[in-house]
Amino acid sequence: MSLKKILTLNVLAAGLVACGGGDINISPSTTSNTTGGDTSGGGSASSVCAAYTLDGTTYRGTLSGNNCNYDSTFVDADNPLMVDVIFSDLPSNGVHVFDGSLIVGENYSTDAELSAAGITEGGDGPTVSIGAGATLAFASSDDLMVINRGSQIVANGTAAAPITITSQTDAVFGVVGPEDVQQWGGLVINGFGVTNKCSYSGTRGTDLALTGECHILSEGKVGGGESNYGGNNDADSSGTLRYVVVKHTGAEVAPGNELNGIAMNAVGSGTTVENIQVYSVYDDGIEFFGGSVNVTNYVGLYVNDDSLDIDEGYNGTIQNALIIQSESNGNRCVESDGVGSYDDVSATPGAIDDLIARGLNSAATILNMTCIFSANETGTHDPGQGLRIREAHIPIIRDSIVTSAYTGDELLGDDDFNYCIRIDNEGGPAATAGDLEVTNSIFACQDLVDGDLGPGDTLAWLDTGAFDNATYQSAEAGENPSPAAAPTFVILGDDSAAPTAAGFYSVLSAGQLIPGETVPTSSTADTYIGAVISSDDWTAGWTYGLHAGNRAQALYFE
């Protein structure tokens, strides 16, 4: 029996006795957990800092001022949490500070290890719970937070009390700059979902079965911090992320191994992910390596590489994504690959076509995205660009805005560098066959497209009447897509109904103007294209960096 199930029985027994449910005799476990409990005040570590008991020994955080500190004896890369632990919101804006990494659950790299531990699905292992309003901070760039397979994170913030996971330089010392990155590693979540780096028989969603073991090594630390992901359960649950902000991440934890804001490794659709933000990230914002997790309401602000990175057969839905690059940094709003180790797989004739036929390639659905990318040339990664779809990713993209209009094109005269969209490899035939869909969307960049579909011209394909897209080549020097500066070109503004200045809100379709184009209509009952409108602002109150009063600097186009 797994530790999680033992704990569940203990808690159940205690609850039944307290409620008069009768006598239940269960042999006591050597493992249990306690939590901070009362968060209304008090000065002792036992009253506010997290604690747990393992094999008769109690481990707890140390209160230092308003903060709780957790050293390597509490948790670290080679000392994972093996019981449920709760990190509650601390009084007086206190912070939970970790001297090392926060690893939840043990990593298992073989089927035999998983079986011996009783780990078969999300919830078998320990759970880390984070209370609304809590802040977790990590001391160095060598630290990361990992939720291993079978374990869960239950992070239930609210719009009024979001959860923040950041660095000690940010939350405690206050010395981090607005766009500083690599202050700590990042959040890694490992699930039992499908990744096409493993071998399967059958077809996804019907009779798919593993033909061998599936334990793909995650990006992250080597040695004690290694973790694996993958399996055959796209419905797996790794818990809940709700109103969570992850800041200042992307450190290189090993040579050539840079972490993201959040890595979703084969995370299943049983996981709830709603209202999440990544802020100032050196590598990717969220990277999906396989799995089927759905994401609703995502903000990617100041991501240096790709704000959404899709690979290894990810086929979930991303609904409402607001992406804003730095004025001088950022690569792609969306970089999407369909097959992990594409070059190796494509060396075998017919192998890619077989994966597509069996539903094992990436096939994300992206609905209501606003991508405001900067036409930078010299960022830390490749130049600023909108969407690149390649290597057997066959997505559905609807009701979205992709634009670089605010910054134009720094590479004056180059008409295919800071592009809105590029479709490569199997994407071309899939687009002309109607399997790859980009509809009801607006593309407004000085460089609209790069490359061709293969069978045809990308721009002509986008402008096909039935797709209801609008394409506009904005001024080379940039222009303001709001009424005050460009009354004939209006797609974004500070107010969705009556914009007067630059902003990130979608203008209602009735007020949008695109020279030479008919404004697209939403594929749903919405009255706008893009991620968010001011009259129904799901970003308000909890995000960092977007709104006055909760940011270190204004958005550059304001």
Where are the extended beta strands (E) located within 340-398?
A: 365-372, 385-390, 396-398
> What span, in angstroms and rounded, lies between the C-alpha atoms of 190 and 380?
27
CA distances from 100 to 13, 184, 424 (A): 35, 10, 42
Q: Does the pLDDT value for residue 369 go beyond 70?
A: yes
Q: What is the mean pLDDT of residues 86-105?
A: 97
Q: What is the mean pLDDT of residues 109-123?
A: 95
pLDDT of residue 27: 26
Q: What is the mean pLDDT of residues 108-123?
A: 95
CA distances from 67 to 49, 50, 79, 163, 443 (A): 8, 11, 22, 16, 47
Q: Does the pLDDT value for residue 297 go beyond 80?
A: yes
Percent of the chain clearing pLDDT 70 (strictly above): 89
Residue 552 exposed, middle or buried by CB count within 10 Å (0-12, 13-18, 19+): middle
> Whole-number mean pLDDT of the chain?
90
Task: Identify which has the larger pLDDT, 259 or 371.
Answer: 371
pLDDT band with cut points at 50, 70 and 90 for residue 26: very low
pLDDT of residue 222: 67
CA distances from 443 to 96, 210, 325, 327, 450 (A): 43, 41, 16, 19, 13
Angle 152-250-555 from CA coordinates, rounded to 5°: 105
pLDDT of residue 162: 98
The answer to whether the CB of 432 falls within 8 A of the CB of 453 is yes
C-alpha torsion angle, residues 128, 130, 135, 140 (rounded to 10): 10
The answer to whether the CB of 313 falls within 8 A of the CB of 203 is no
pLDDT band with cut points at 50, 70 and 90 for residue 415: low
CA distances from 362 to 61, 212, 336, 338, 531 (A): 42, 21, 8, 4, 22
Q: Does the pLDDT value for residue 2 go beyond 60?
A: no
The CA-based diameter of the chain, rounded to the nearest angstrom, is 81
Lowest mean pLDDT among 12-21, 92-101, 177-186, 194-203: 12-21
Give the CA count within 13 Å in the CB-facing half-sphere of 96.
Answer: 28
pLDDT of residue 37: 36
Model confidence pLDDT, tens digit, residues 520-555: 999 999 999 999 999 999 999 999 999 999 999 999
Percent of the chain clearing pLDDT 90 (strictly above): 82
